A and B are shown apart, each in its own frame.
Chain A
Amino acid sequence: MKDDFPTPPVRDELKKRVVETPDGQTIEIDPLRDYYCQSAPTVMPAAYSKIVEGLFNWARAESLWILGFGTGCGAIEMRPLMTPRFDAYRYGIQWRPTPRQSNLFVISGYLSVKTLKRVIRSYEQMPNPKYVVGLGSCTINGGMYFDSYNTITRLDQYLPVDVYIAGCMPRPEALLAGFEELKRIIRAGKAEGANQYAEQFDWYKANQKRVIHDWDMPDYNW
């Protein structure tokens, strides 16, 4: 078998099609154009007043809502945080089931190319001041999967990362320390990952498309 690179076929539900509506009209639907918002992200300015922004940053730091999406084996280290022994709720940390309500994405451990696709979609759906924590060595330099054919080796090529927590796996204590570090960064107003993503959008998108070959979603999905 040779290394020829054909483009993978488009999935059926994403093809253009002609649909008859309930009231008898015939319309043409192009799912990628009609079902998603295609506008690229924009840089969102901070609040006009420094005091207000400071207050907001303090609130953002004290109320970290984690997206409940365990992307790899490291997700197992997040469960103990909810239990009486570690009790992350003390620090204003909660888990939310939907990206719309969360502002912190914990990439837990190795990230396969297939999961990366879902991660990008979820990340882009989170509202603007959003933070990414890379958990475990795998997100830093690939860890023990450095030579794998389907796990990425550097998370910051694809998403703007605020804090890395090293270890394989890091203990829940290390996670709590990492969250405290993230809080310091947010309070200092330096956690502008979402704006960085918007500024260097083309670079991130090119990197993402280099590893995801069957890109069957719009470039930016709200």
Chain B
Amino acid sequence: MSFEWIKIPYALLTLFIVANYGFLLTAVMAKIAARVGRRHGIPVWQNYVDLIKNYGLRSSITHGVMFYLGPVFRLTGGVGLLMFVPTIYGTEMFSNMSFAGDLILALYFVFFGSLGMALGAGESGHPHSAIGVTRGLSQVTAAELPFALAVYAVAVQYQTLSVTEIVAAQQGGILHWTLFSNPLAVAAAMLSFLGTMMRPPFDVVLAPQEIPIGPPTEYHSSYLALMQTNRAIFPIAKIVIYMNLFFGGAASWPVFFLKVFLIYLVSVIVGVVFPRFRVEQSIRWFLIWAVPLGIAAILMV
């Protein structure tokens, strides 16, 4: 298998599109949540303004090497996830660096950002960061369990670890989607999806309204801007995986935008309806409701 260099600019183009779509989509989702509260909410370009402002801050303070690397790792988690998963099915341009075993790698990247964050926030030495990291890691771990189970169920069902082949198996009509061929796995994965999107009811870890904001307590200026970029890219990259595994993938950009929007909307709707869980409540919730579903999905296959 020879590596084609043209893949790199193509992948960067994907990244550019996804990042901008992410910025706009997060703002639109914030607006939707605000409309539920009968507010007008932030303007759709607010994320860009915040980004420019954070890059424009004149002073920045570091606490050591890992403090630099924390946001970088976090961004790597988002970008890496996106890079190794085919964004648009069936096009050479936007298949990125996908290869035969990419599903396992994707699972790894989902977790990578949180770990990098833990290292960086630990170095900042702020007690709120340490608390936030502990709570965040335990919650993400609990939330990832059902997703991992669901992914194995899907992998066993299609007898492959390649995302591209899984998408290919789902083509040919809405009833071929995993959503209908293996509903249990999809249910488990969607519950886990709620947990890892960092929206209510599972966002107590780094909600800006909470007094300890969590891991990013000490992060500011450019570091924070990097993390904001990741906050735009990472959910989209994650949704791309879900879309590919369970909802038949996307064969063109309009379909991609629509599906990502709808999947994102699921977590927003749940978020505006339900109040926040505490961390131990959410862990218990995942273990009681989501994990058995995932196990059942594997058994069914």
By a CB distance below 8 angstroms, the chain B residues around A87 are: 34, 39-41
A210 contacts the other chain (CB 8 A): no
One of A17-25, A89-97, A115-123, A144-152 at the interface: A89-97
CA distance A126 to B53 in the complex (A): 14
Assess whether B219 is in contact with A100, with CB atoms less than 8 Å apart. yes
**Chain A positions near chain B (C-beta within 8 angstroms):** 44-45, 47, 55-56, 59-60, 62-63, 68, 83-84, 87, 89-90, 92, 94-98, 100-101, 103, 127-129, 194, 222
Partner of B221, one of A55, A62, A127: A127
Interface centre among A84, A95, A127 (most CB of B within 10 A): A127
By a CB distance below 8 angstroms, the chain B residues around A62 are: 46, 49, 53
Assess whether A129 is in contact with B49, with CB atoms less than 8 Å apart. no
By a CB distance below 8 angstroms, the chain A residues around B58 are: 44-45, 127-129, 194
Assess whether B49 is in contact with A90, with CB atoms less than 8 Å apart. no
Complex A-B: 16 CB contacts under 8 Å? A60-B56, A62-B46, A63-B46, A63-B49, A83-B39, A84-B39, A90-B43, A92-B46, A92-B50, A97-B212, A127-B58, A127-B59, A128-B57, A128-B59, A129-B56, A129-B58
B210 contacts the other chain (CB 8 A): yes
Known contacts A60-B56, A96-B208, A128-B57; A89/B49 CB under 8 A: no
Q: Which secondary structure dominates chain A's binding surface?
A: loop
CA distance A127 to B221 in the complex (A): 8
Assess whether B42 is in contact with A101, with CB atoms less than 8 Å apart. no
Chain B residues bordering chain A, tally (CB within 8 A)? 33
- How many A-B contacts if CB must be within 8 Å? 90
B61 contacts the other chain (CB 8 A): yes
Nearest B residue to A47, CB-CB: B56
Partner of A90, one of B38, B42, B53, B216: B42
CA distance A50 to B93 in the complex (A): 40
> When A and B form their complex, which 4 residue pairs have the shortest distance between CB atoms, in order from nearest?
A56-B56, A128-B58, A59-B52, A128-B59
By a CB distance below 8 angstroms, the chain A residues around B128 are: 98
By a CB distance below 8 angstroms, the chain B residues around A60 are: 53, 56
Assess whether B56 is in contact with A89, with CB atoms less than 8 Å apart. no
Nearest B residue to A222, CB-CB: B61
By a CB distance below 8 angstroms, the chain B residues around A129 are: 56-58
Assess whether B49 is in contact with A97, with CB atoms less than 8 Å apart. no
* Nearest chain B CB to A131 CB, angstrom units: 12
Assess whether A63 is in contact with B53, with CB atoms less than 8 Å apart. yes
* Nearest chain A CB to B71 CB, angstrom units: 13
CA distance A175 to B46 in the complex (A): 21
Known contacts A63-B46, A90-B43; A96/B213 CB under 8 A: yes
B2 contacts the other chain (CB 8 A): no
Partner of B213, one of A47, A59, A97, A222: A97
CA distance A60 to B46 in the complex (A): 11
By a CB distance below 8 angstroms, the chain A residues around B43 are: 90, 92
* Nearest chain B CB to A14 CB, angstrom units: 18
By a CB distance below 8 angstroms, the chain B residues around A127 are: 57-61, 220-221
Assess whether B53 is in contact with A59, with CB atoms less than 8 Å apart. yes
B218 contacts the other chain (CB 8 A): yes
By a CB distance below 8 angstroms, the chain B residues around A100 are: 61, 217-220
CA distance A20 to B128 in the complex (A): 26
CA distance A101 to B227 in the complex (A): 12
By a CB distance below 8 angstroms, the chain B residues around A95 are: 208-209
Instruction: Given A87-B39, A97-B212, A101-B220, output 4 extra A-B contacts at Cβ < 8 Å.
Output: A45-B58, A60-B53, A97-B217, A103-B53
